[in-house]
Amino acid sequence: MESALPLHERSVGWRKWVLRFPSILYLGLMILVPLIVIIQDGLSEGIAELVYQVSLPIAKHAIQLTLWTSALMTLINAVMGLITAYVLVRFEFPGKRLLNAIIDLPLAIPTLVTGVMLVMLYGPQEALGQFLSTKMGIEVIFAPPGIVLALLFISFPFVVRNIQPVLQDLDLTQERAAETLGANSWQTFWRIVFPALVLPVINGSLLSFSRAIGEFGAVVVVAGNIPLRTQTAAVYTLGAVESQNRLGASAVSILLISIAFLVLLMTNLIQKKWGAH
């Protein structure tokens, strides 16, 4: 059995550990140790203290703001991501290549720069920002709409890039058959195409949600740091760290990590349960 392997892989015993041990050590030290330390620190005063810390008015507001803006972003991102991916795969039109290239821009642009860009577009001193606030009564910067916009920007690629390959591989004969049998394009979409896309849409949406609840760079510039109004959970954590509020910082951090892990776990479970066939 062993001799079927190339010579350099027939190594036994300690030689395997030359690569394996440093790999385990690297990931263990880099990822597990910090996680264990923060969980230990947050639970050191007991669960009750942790619950108390996250239910303090300012912390609670920050967490709620983070959750609802992230949820709203996820909803919009799911719908618009689906439309964009569908258009990019199924239709030919001038400028399509350019559009396809733009999708990944948010992944390359540092999130702090994203925040700067949004302030320059919607800021109270800018033309568009002034127009929106005086003529339409909509405040974007230093208000929740700005947070949602920032989150939409940074997570736009997640849904689109999850759907695109699935849509590309989708068997066109089924759609043709449905059309031949007299289904209109709406019926074909809802009965044939959409069921195949549910999984990637959910996947991309959950991914963008878990990414959004921890977002800091884009949000801190756009939302500012106004407790009980525009302070998100990540910004609250920064404030708690700076004011030596160790219990508060640890409690909110643990909550953020737990939610993100739960969402990732859900993604994995969904993938395992329905992704196989």
Partner 1 sequence: MDKAKKGWGAWLLIGIAVTYMGFLIVAPISALIVGAFEEGLLPVIKSLTTTAFRQALSLSIRIALLVVIIQTVLGTMVAWVIVRHNFLGKSLLNGIIDVPFAVSPVVVGYMLLLLFGRNGFLFPLIEKTGVQVAFAVPGMFLATLFVSLPFMIREMIPVIQNLDRQQELAASTLGANGWVIFWRVIFPQLRSGLIYGMTLTLARALGEFGAVLVIGGGVQGRTETTTLYIFRSLEERRLIEAYSASILLGSFSVIIVYLADALKRHQMTRNALGVIEDSFTAKLKIE
- In the range 71-110, which residues lie near partner 1 by CB under 8 A? 80, 83-84, 86-88, 90-93, 95, 99, 101-110
CA distance 196 to 177: 16
In whole angstroms, the minimum distance from the beta carbon of 277 to partner 1 comes to: 22
Q: Is 174 within 8 Å of 51 (Cβ atoms)? A: no
User: Shortest gap between Cβ of 153 and partner 1 (angstroms)?
Assistant: 6
Contacts of partner 1 in 169-228 (CB under 8 A): 172, 185, 210-211, 213-217, 220-221
What single-letter amino acid sits at 83? I
Number of residues that bind partner 1 (CB under 8 A): 87
Is-contact 250 227, C-beta < 8 A? no
Closest approach of Cβ 84 to partner 1, in Å?
4
x/- binding map, residues 235-254, to partner 1, per CB under 8 A?
A: x-xx--x----x--xx--x-
Instruction: Report the nearest approach of partner 1 to the CB of residue 120 (Å).
Output: 4
The distance of closest approach from Cβ of residue 79 to partner 1 in the complex, given in angstroms and rounded to an integer, is 10
Residue 63 binds partner 1 (CB under 8 A) = no
Minimal distance, residue 99 CB to partner 1, in Å:
6
Tell me the C-alpha distance between 141 and 239, whole Å.
20
> Which of 27, 138, 226, 228 is the binder for partner 1 (CB under 8 A)?
27
Nearer to partner 1, 142 or 156 (CB): 156
Residues 106-165, interacting with partner 1 (CB under 8 A): 106-114, 116-121, 126, 128, 149, 152-153, 156
